[in-house]
Chain A
Amino acid sequence: MIELYILLLFMILAAIIAVEIRDLLSSVIAVGAVGLGLSVAFLILKAPDLAITQLVVEILCLIILIRATIRRDIPMPNRKEEVIGLIMAVLFVGGFLFFAYFALKNLPPFGHPIMKVSQNYFSEGLRKTGATNLVASVILDFRAYDTLGEATVLFTAVIGVLTVVRRIGRKKPGEDIKED
């Protein structure tokens, strides 16, 4: 799986660039590169459904993020970042990786998953649902409640965005406005 390692290395490099660079537009484009690498990783790991979805969702996410940063390049003052935040972040990362190393030893080795529930899906999937795409049969027939929950979350997010950006009651700018 040498190509998977190279791809993960590319994603880590792009993430480091996205975090450290000073220009806002460049860091948004670097996150786009991470998402694109993730889509190719889904293809290598034999998940074509997810590769299509991740690609188009990444494009939409980039459009929304670029809209927030265009023409708003505020030069951040050149002050030193807080030391307390940096120390806490390093402590958290160190502790997390340390415990994760011991926890990962209990997982089955890479490439040999324990598929107790999925054996049932393989043998009964075509007979019970009639769909040949097993992932679609899982999300729309065996676990349809999760899809209902996801539709609800999307609906709530759309309502939330339309409420936050609403313009009702806005008088001339500069005036103190009481918003409900």
Chain B
Amino acid sequence: MSGKLSDSNKPGMTLIVKTITRLTVGLIFLYGIYIVMHGHLSPGGGFAGGVIIALSFIHFMLAFGKDLALKKLSSGAASLFENFGALMFLTIAFLGLTGGYFFFNFISKGRPFNLFSAGIIPLCNVAICLKVGAGLFAVFVALILTEITTKRSDR
């Protein structure tokens, strides 16, 4: 697979790409968090924010090589985040049963246009963001980083 590695012995891409990546990866991650947190006030929501956060990790991995990126977020940690996100979403849904029916909006809805308004919607957005972001990062790690050996098998 060395389609993503340069020809020298150092992994990752050239120095220009690494410098720009160091500057922008943090900003992309912050932008993803902003879109998730303000999902109930302006366009965005959990899915777009989750994909943006996954893209920031993928950007880091493409520029710096596999080993350095997997130290920041290993496969076990990604799997843990995804399971936690899915379980949190289900827990919020079941807790609605205390108020009446499944998925009932039981937290108080504050004043509109505040950050802490709209009941369970911000919490659901955070749960979906964790799930989607970690899941897509795991898919990327599995697809891009497998070694390819082509077998001239039975014809």
Interface residues of A (CB under 8 A from B): 48-49, 51-53, 56-57, 59-60, 63-64, 67, 70-71, 126, 128-133, 135-137, 139-141, 144-145, 147-148, 151, 154-155, 157-158, 161-162, 165, 167, 173-174
Q: How far is the CA of A151 from the CA of B87 in the complex (A)?
A: 11
What residues of B have a CB within 8 angstroms of the CB of A64 in the complex? 139-140, 143
Does A49 lie within 8 Å of B45, measured CB to CB?
A: yes
Contact of B51 among A53, A67, A167 (CB under 8 A): A53
Does B86 lie within 8 Å of A155, measured CB to CB?
A: yes
Contact of A132 among B40, B47, B119 (CB under 8 A): B40
Does B105 lie within 8 Å of A162, measured CB to CB?
A: no
What residues of A have a CB within 8 angstroms of the CB of B144 in the complex? 67
Residue from A154, A155, A165 with most neighbouring chain B CB atoms (10 Å): A154
Does B143 lie within 8 Å of A158, measured CB to CB?
A: no
Instruction: Indicate whether A67 sits within 8 Å of B143 (C-beta atoms), given known contacts A56-B55, A133-B40, A144-B93.
Output: yes
What residues of A have a CB within 8 angstroms of the CB of B35 in the complex? 52
What residues of A have a CB within 8 angstroms of the CB of B135 in the complex? 154-155, 158
What residues of A have a CB within 8 angstroms of the CB of B149 in the complex? 173
What residues of A have a CB within 8 angstroms of the CB of B121 in the complex? 129-131, 136-137, 140-141
Does A161 lie within 8 Å of B143, measured CB to CB?
A: yes
Q: How far is the CA of A165 from the CA of B147 in the complex (A)?
A: 10
**Per-residue 0/1 for B105-119: is the Cβ within 8 Å of any A Cβ (1 yes, 0 no)?**
100011011000111
Q: Is B142 an interface residue (CB 8 A)?
A: yes
Q: How far is the CA of A136 from the CA of B132 in the complex (A)?
A: 17
Q: Chain B nearest CB: distance from A58 CB in Å?
A: 10
Q: Which of B96-155 contact A (CB under 8 A)?
A: 103, 105, 109-110, 112-113, 117-121, 124-125, 128, 131-132, 135-136, 138-140, 142-144, 146, 149-153
Q: Is B25 an interface residue (CB 8 A)?
A: no
Instruction: Indicate whether A49 sits within 8 Å of B43 (C-beta atoms), given known contacts A64-B143, A130-B118, A154-B135.
Output: yes
Which residue on chain B has the smallest CB distance to residue A54?
B48
Q: Is B76 an interface residue (CB 8 A)?
A: no
What residues of A have a CB within 8 angstroms of the CB of B113 in the complex? 132
Q: Is B54 an interface residue (CB 8 A)?
A: yes
Contact of A135 among B43, B132, B140 (CB under 8 A): B43
Instruction: Indicate whether A173 sits within 8 Å of B151 (C-beta atoms), given known contacts A129-B119, A133-B39, A133-B40.
Output: yes
Which residue on chain A has the smallest CB distance to residue B132?
A154
Does A130 lie within 8 Å of B119, measured CB to CB?
A: yes
What residues of A have a CB within 8 angstroms of the CB of B47 in the complex? 53
Q: Chain B nearest CB: distance from A79 CB in Å?
A: 18
Q: Which of B36-72 contact A (CB under 8 A)?
A: 39-45, 47-48, 51-52, 54-55, 58
Q: Chain A nearest CB: distance from B106 CB in Å?
A: 11
Does A60 lie within 8 Å of B55, measured CB to CB?
A: yes
Q: Chain B nearest CB: distance from A103 CB in Å?
A: 31
What residues of B have a CB within 8 angstroms of the CB of A71 in the complex? 3
Does A52 lie within 8 Å of B44, measured CB to CB?
A: yes
